Amino acid sequence: MTRIVGTADELLHLIENSFHARITVRGNHVHIVGDSIEVQTLSTIFTDLIHSAESNQELIADDVRRIIETSRSAEFAPHELRSDVILTHKGRVIRPKTSGQKRYVDAIRHNTITFATGVAGTGKTYLAMAMALAAFQAKEVDRIILTRPIVEAGESLGFLPGTLTEKVDPYIRPLYDALYDMFDAERANALIAAGTIEIVPLAFMRGRTLNNCFIILDEAQNATPEQMKMFLTRLGYGSKMVITGDMSQTDLPQGAEGLRRARRILRDVDDIAFCDFSGRDVIRHPLVADIVAAYSSTERAGGFPPETGEQRANGEEVSDGSSR
């Protein structure tokens, strides 16, 4: 019960503040009194927390917030997320944690091509990597191909010395990070050396036909329309493709046209799924969701108001026009 209610009842207070029902914990018993719908929802939440505690999972506030959010959604019950195990590594279980992530992994399972777009921190690349490794371990595919456009993120890095691999490595590093986080590093390096797991720049995909592969295109918002068409037409028999991107973070001067155009052109094609993530699917630090929401709100409002001379002199930028 201590694991369920948290240190100093932190998790219990979080649940209590999210509902109107009265919750009383005595010993190993939880008593819930209130509206019948809330009682049913809370029963589902505590059942899920009990299962998590029984499996020795360390619960934190973010976990409880996600369970509450999921319990209020009619789409998936918390136990559906808990039972959907994609991959296990060193005792750690990788599974979808939000309804949006559950829709995403189901889309990958049931479609040949899946587009995933949305804000940072929603697990687009991470879950795609987990699905690729699961498919490889189940011998559903023979190879994993990981690619992304080589585009500098808002700054010119100039000439980089070294071999081609050394020049490209900094751009591809996030894919390595995800791979090593869920797969034994020594085995992963052996598979990379053998070409079974291939991490390449998008430009190097031209002219290839990829059969029996799981192919992930990351940071697709930085792909031009020509690159996107070239990539999609690499698809061979027995392969799956996942294309991920955040159209609010493009590094191309002309915007995210490659990804946007592909979505418009292919929206009515069978066996292609489109998943859109929102701030509710962010699974990084809780502040990331607040940052994403703040930027989105400002962009919808048409940007920042002009700053006053005093604010400019003080190096301030205040959205309501007042000085601080």
Q: Which residue has the higher pLDDT, 108 or 311?
A: 108
Q: Which residue has the higher pLDDT, 306 or 131?
A: 131
Q: Which residues contact 183 (CB under 8 A, 6 or more apart)?
A: 89, 133
Alpha helices, DSSP H only, in the chain? 2-5, 10-16, 36-54, 61-71, 78-83, 99-110, 124-137, 164-182, 185-194, 225-232, 257-266, 286-300, 309-314
CATH number among 1.10.10, 3.30.1370, 1.10.110, 1.10.3470, domain 2-83 = 3.30.1370
Domain map (residue ranges) of the chain: 2-83, 89-300
Handedness of CA 312, 314, 316, 321 (dihedral sign): negative
Looking at residue 104, its pLDDT comes to: 95
Q: What is the pLDDT of residues 159-196, one digit of tens each?
A: 556 665 666 677 778 788 888 888 888 988 999 999 99
Residue 94 CA to chain centroid, in angstroms?
12
Looking at residue 163, its pLDDT comes to: 61
On the question of pLDDT at 26 being above 70, the answer is: yes
Share the mean pLDDT of the chain: 81
Q: What is the pLDDT of residues 84-143, one digit of tens each?
A: 889 888 777 888 888 889 999 999 999 999 999 988 888 899 999 999 999 999 999 999
- CATH assignment of 89-300? 3.40.50.300
Among 33-42, 79-88, 202-211, 294-303, which range has the highest average pLDDT? 202-211
Looking at residue 74, its pLDDT comes to: 57
Looking at residue 310, its pLDDT comes to: 54
Question: Worst-scoring range by mean pLDDT, 95-109, 212-226, 276-290, 301-315?
Answer: 301-315
Looking at residue 52, its pLDDT comes to: 78
Q: Facing residues of 92 across strands?
A: 89
